[in-house]
Amino acid sequence: MPIYEYACSACSEAFETIVSGRGEKDVRCPRCESKDVVRKFSVFASRGTTKGGASCSSCSATSCSSCG
């Protein structure tokens, strides 16, 4: 099930929630219970197989271009 990020239009609370099937119409703000929420664009990270950065545990570089 996907996890989506939302922002509440009523109280400006930012939150994440798991949404199953057509359950998105039932999403409510956890702070004020409003259904006036907007799904935010979110980016996910994936772990690659290249050297450097977060995918190489022995590398302390901040960019893959500095690895050899």
* pLDDT single digits (tens) 52-65: 445 555 666 666 66
Q: Is residue 23 part of a domain?
A: yes
Q: Is residue 54 part of a domain?
A: no
Q: What is the pTM of this model?
A: 0.58
Separation CA 13–CA 30 (nearest Å) = 8
State the residue range of the domain holding 8: 1-42
Separation CA 56–CA 68 (nearest Å) = 12
CATH code of the domain in which 20 resides: 2.20.28
Q: Is residue 9 part of a domain?
A: yes
pLDDT, residue 23, reads 76
**Count of domains in the chain?**
1
Q: Is residue 16 part of a domain?
A: yes
**CB–CB of 4/17 below 8 Å?**
yes
Q: Is residue 61 part of a domain?
A: no
Q: Is residue 29 part of a domain?
A: yes
pLDDT, residue 8, reads 97
The segments of the chain whose pLDDT lies below 70 read 44-68
